[in-house]
Structure 1
Amino acid sequence: MRKVVVWRSAMIPASETFIRNQADALSRWTPVYLGATKTRSTLARDTDITLFRSQRDPDFLRLRLFGSSPALRRALAAQQPDLVHAHFGGDGWLISGESARTGIPLVVTLHGHDVTRQPASPGAKGIRHRHNLRTVFGRASILVAVSEVIRQRAIGWGADPAKVRVHHTGVPIPAGIPDGPKRWDVAFVGRFVEKKGADDLLAALATLDAKAVFVGDGPLLAEMRDVARELRVDATFLGARPADEVYRVLASSRLLAAPSRTAADGDSEGLPTTVVEAMALGLPVVATRHSGIPEAVADGRTGLLSDERDREALAANLRKLLDDPDLRTSFGTAGRARAGAEFDVVAQSRRLEDVYDEVTGQRE
């Protein structure tokens, strides 16, 4: 079997189950997980290969400043992969120099903030992000965008349209839907950052008689707990949880809310994985018309969409589904069918392997 190095500089945050699920589902290619530093998370594995003990390592500093690292070069030489697949544009740039020097073709997946917030940053930081992004655009054989919106953003920053492919990462599709009592009315799963819109959800929930559960961590978690108390929202905050527990929480909820929005600094989603995970479990979704969400959620068939930051419309959509069990069942059934047909991680990873085959065929 051919070998692909899956590169993520921080190996690997708990919120990035999509990277694990995708690579673990490969059948014709063997993934080797390679990173710069190890992140303590529920996704970390002893088999992950990391190069540096900390971000203060001089060789890691050299990699971040100049895009070169003897340690990374040695690791690639030792693994002898047929391909490198990097996640996020910035990480793609980090490995692109050594990938080019060793003659290993590179595929880079663009997820969201790497082609929204980062290159739009002001001053020297933005100049550097744009330079690095355009460099990796040139070095990569294929650029994978997780949604059409992200594809267009990449092209807007200078990517060759012929190189940029939309590929939905996919999620595991359970064989059946867990049958059990519903503990919560509304579930939210995601990092507590501005673009996730947790404050919009709390404001909407304050107008409803509903029990909500929030899964995830992030810099705004403490603030959102305070907002929930101030608004007297019946909300349970569970913090970050392993993937299997997240699935149990979703299965114990009546619907998923994903009120994503563009942050003040331009940060945007690609296509939130939790939206598709909820659909795979037969949950209807209440979300916003943000980035790639409408590529997954069919408004009026698998969920209800509203404009970003429209708290009244968000509350109305939540109320409509919570008040109508038959509509929830109808949307949930249609959503599960859509997830299975278009977002099954096994089928999507096979399509990704076709891209790998194409790239290495070009190499030969």
Structure 2
Amino acid sequence: MSRVVVWRSGLLAPSETFVRSQGDALTRWQVRYLGAVKVPSALARDDDVIVFPPGADERFLRLRVTGRSPRLRRMLAALGPDLVHAHFGGDGWLVSAAAEELGVPLIVTVHGHDVTRQPYAKGPKGVRHRRNLRTVFRRAAVILAVSEHIRRRAIEQGADPAKVRVHHTGVPIPPPPRAEKEWDVVFAGRFVPKKGLDDLLAALATLRDLEPRVLFVGDGPLAAAIRTRAAGLGVPVTFAGALDHASASAAMAAAKVFASPSRTAPDGDAEGLPTTVLEAAALGVPVVSTRHSGIPEAVVHGTTGLLGAEGDREALAAHLRVLLTGDELRERLGRQAREHTAGHFDLRRRTAALERLYDDVAGAAVTGGAAAGAGPRVPRPRTPAPPAPGPYR
């Protein structure tokens, strides 16, 4: 069975369930997860392979500055992969030199801020991000974008259009939920500017006559400001904080409407395609959102949910009102949202397509190496490699 190493430098932030879901859904490829440092979260696992132990900050900093690490190269070689799949452009750059030296083909998925915000930073930081993106785009065999919008932004940053393709990660399609609708409106996500929580609170403030039951799931740098803003507007929001994935899914299933009023942040940060939008739709919950980035690829206005312009608070309020007061429309859009997601974003089907891509890329690398008279793609390290715990999944 072929082997893929999934790389994320910080393994793994609690909001990045999409990385685990995609890797765990592989059936024909064995997967190992490799990270530079361990991130304490519910997504961390004992068999994750971590390059730098606690206290090795200087070595990790050297990798971040130079893009090279003998230790990373040795540990990657010890895993013996046929392919490396890195998430986010900057992280792809961190592992790209080691993969290239070992002759292992690299696939990089770009998700959002890596091509919408980071390259536009001012000064040396922006120069570095742009340079690193161009380098990893050159080294990668294929670049995956989570939406057409993100594909275009990757090309703007120097990616070869022939290398870049859209691949929607997808979500599991659960059995039809039977949850009671405990909440009228639920939001789930990080409390950051691109999520448009200020717009959502302003819209909810106009719906006091409906007395909506509102739940915000998540945390982030704007959490305190959002709580203060909700109190100032007199919007009675229940703040659940960060929840594990199962609890967050249960909260979404108990919603009449899922709100995701995303917008481009002042610093240029933009969504790719929010996983929560797909998860809510898979649960049969209609989505009220915006025509932002890849969201219109998942939410069909008037069929599976309702979309307005970014920052249009009046439209957001109107869409919430029409679904909260129109049971028949809300239920129809919810059914259609589930059907649409099952047809186009089923994690099993999307992962099967990804495995076919893995086959093509790994096969091309083997054929190309044989044609050039190359030796093994993953050479035996010169010095003993640190042990890699546990088997491939």
Q: Contact 1:187 / 1:257 at 8 angstroms: preserved in 2? A: yes
State the Cα deviation string for residues 4-56 of structure 1 (Å, max 9, x = none). Answer: 00000000011011111111000110110000111111111111111113486
Alignment of 1:225-304 (within 5 A): 225-304=227-306
2:23 corresponding residue in structure 1: 23
Distance 1:200 1:32 in 2: 40
Cα RMSD (Å): 0.9
SS in 2 for 1:359: helix
Matched position secondary structure for 2:118: coil
Distance 2:91 2:8 in 1: 6
Residues 278-319 of structure 1 show CA distances to partners (whole Å, capped at 9, x for unaligned) of 000000000000000000000000000000011111000000
CA distance in 1, matches of 2:44, 2:126: 31
What residue in structure 2 maps to residue 177 of structure 1? 176
2:75 maps to which residue?
Answer: 75
Deviation by residue 1:201-251 (Cα, 9 ceiling, x = unmatched): 011111113111111111001110111111111211111111111111011
Partner of 1:348, secondary structure, is: helix
Per-residue displacement from partner, 1:148-193 (whole Å, max 9, x unpaired)?
A: 000000011111000001000000110x222132111001011000
CA distance in 1, matches of 2:87, 2:342: 24
The alignment-based identity, stated in percent, is 60
Contact 1:146 1:270 in 2 (8 A): yes
* Structure-2 residue corresponding to 1:223: 225
> What pairs with 1:53-72 in structure 2 (closer than 5 Å)?
53-54=53-54, 57-72=57-72
Equivalent residues of 1:55, 1:61 under 8 A apart? no
Q: What are the equivalent positions in structure 2 for 1:46-195 lying under 5 Å apart?
A: 46-54=46-54, 57-174=57-174, 176-195=175-194
Deviation at residue 70 of structure 1 after TM alignment? 1.3
Q: Whole-Å Cα distance in 2 between the matches of residues 338 and 248 of structure 1? A: 20
Tell me if structure 2 keeps the 8 A contact 1:67–1:97.
yes
* CA displacement at 1:80 relative to structure 2: 0.6
Partner AA of 1:15 in structure 2: S
Aligned to 1:319: 321
SS in 1 for 2:306: strand
Distance 2:194 2:173 in 1: 27
Q: Secondary structure at the match of 1:162?
A: coil
CA contact (8 A) 1:106 1:140 kept: yes
Structure 1 pair 218/55, CA: closer, same or farther in 2 (3 Å)?
A: farther
Q: Does the Cα contact within 8 Å between 1:2 and 1:29 map onto a contact in 2?
A: yes
Pair member with larger Rg: 2
For residues 196-215 of structure 1, the aligned pairs below 5 Å read 196-208=195-207, 209-215=211-217
Conserved? CA contact 1:35–1:49, under 8 Å = yes
Asked whether the 8 Å contact 1:259–1:287 carries over to 2, the reply is yes
C-alpha contact 1:184 1:213 (8 A) present in aligned 2:
yes
Q: How far apart, CA to CA, are the structure 1 residues paired with 2:54 and 2:320? A: 44
Map of 2:352 onto structure 1: 350
Residue type of the partner of 2:218? G
Equivalent position SS for 2:115: coil
The aligned counterpart of 2:32 is: 32
Q: C-alpha displacement at 1:260, in angstroms?
A: 0.3
Q: Does 1:360 align with 2:362?
A: yes
Q: Decide which moves more: 49-58 or 293-302.
A: 49-58
In structure 2, runs of 5+ residues without a counterpart are 367-393
TM-score, normalization by structure 2: 0.91
Structure 1 contact 7–85 (Cα < 8 Å) conserved:
yes
2-structure distance, mates of 1:48, 1:90: 20
Match of 1:115, SS state, is: helix
Secondary structure at 2:119's aligned position in 1? coil
TM-aligned CA deviation for residue 59 of structure 1: 1.6
| 2:2 is aligned with 1:2 | yes
Aligned length: 363
